[in-house]
Amino acid sequence: MDVRSLRWGLVGLGSLAANGIVPAAARSQFARITAGMTRDAAKGQAFGAAHHIPRIHATVEALVEDPEVDAVFVMSPNDAHLAPVLAAAAAGKPVLCEKPLAMTEADAQRMIDACEQAGVMLRLGLHLRFEKFLDRVAEVLREGRIGTVRALSIERAAPLAERSAWREDPARGGSILYDVGLHLLDAVPRLIGQALVDVAGLASPPPGSGMGADTITLLLRSEGDVQVSLRASREAPYAGNDLVVIGTAGMLRTGPLRWAGEFSMTITNAEGVVRERMDACDLYRDELDGFARDLADGGTRLGTGSDGLRLVRMAAVIERALAEGRRLPFA
């Protein structure tokens, strides 16, 4: 497989770009950041100087037409993904879009259709798919080491520093549901090998408050009747960021799954207690290199447009369940 290095143009020069993607590209095998886009000229100038990126554009159109850009990474606020993805498709540039793909099913479908019609690869930023430790957890569950899975819970927190004006605006997708929750909703079916079928939950601040939810707790059920509890927050400085799975023959518990260089897993069953450790992966680096490999061989290491559409639909159901205070099916 001939994998070529890609020159990336970044749409949105916020904390993800500065603290995540630019450093990851420097560690990657197949990625180099050559351009960025922001309408804030002062911000663009400062970003370019700080990260040695000389090509800073004021419009998406200029970025996607830049001959020094091979691929486009869209990481603008959640409600501002449509136009850059459509522009990249029109320019024939493969595009990686941060989740959520869009805020509505109609917009997500437009993005998928535009990329398909242009013959452009569209991938979704679900970087937890590159965490090999989670693959190992899924393997342990498939092996039946704790029997039949009956319940799974995940707690995950976002950095408090991620709070910003647009993240407090529900109309802009400011809820923690879109920042962290979508990662968990994508990960759980991969862990237990079952789709999620319905959901109920709580949010704080609550729907109707005019503020994006900072903490959500979701209670879901899988097609095999696994009880799933997910909690995501960006107002919890000391959250455990852990995973617990209860089975008919044992229990699996992890140590912190964020902000740690090494992850641990404890498996308890009739045979005793077994502990495993694994180094954390370099998720953004692996995501960038995975994109280049997907482009080379047509693989689906990253989330696809269809995955993005599925998560948009799930998020819409969750928003309704939270607003109406009742359990709703995803189908």
How confident is residue 76, by pLDDT bands cut at 50, 70 and 90? very high
CATH 3.40.50.720 applies to domain 6-127+285-299: yes
Task: Give me the percent of the chain exceeding a pLDDT of 70.
Answer: 99
The half-sphere exposure of 131 on its side-chain side, counting CA atoms within 13 A, is 21
Residue 70 has pLDDT above 80, yes or no: yes
- pTM comes to 0.95
The model's pLDDT over 196-215, given as tens digits with 9 standing for 90+, comes to 999 999 999 999 999 999 99
Q: What is the mean pLDDT of residues 169-194?
A: 94
Tens of pLDDT, residue by residue over 115-170, are: 999 999 999 999 999 999 999 999 999 999 999 999 999 999 988 877 677 788 88
pLDDT at 169: 83
Domain 132-280+313-329 CATH assignment equals 3.30.360.10: yes
pLDDT at 167: 80
Q: What is the pLDDT of residues 212-234, one digit of tens each?
A: 999 999 999 999 999 999 999 99
| Predicted pLDDT at 218 | 98
Please, where are the H alpha helices in the chain?
A: 15, 22-27, 41-51, 60-65, 82-90, 105-118, 132-142, 176, 182-192, 283-297, 305-324
What are the pLDDT digits (tens) for 115-126? 999 999 999 999
Q: Any idea where the domains of the chain sit in the sequence? A: 6-127+285-299, 132-280+313-329
pLDDT of residue 173: 85
Mean pLDDT of 96-114: 98
Which pair of structure tokens corresponds to residue 116? 């398909």
Contact in structure between 33 and 8 (CB atoms under 8 Å): yes
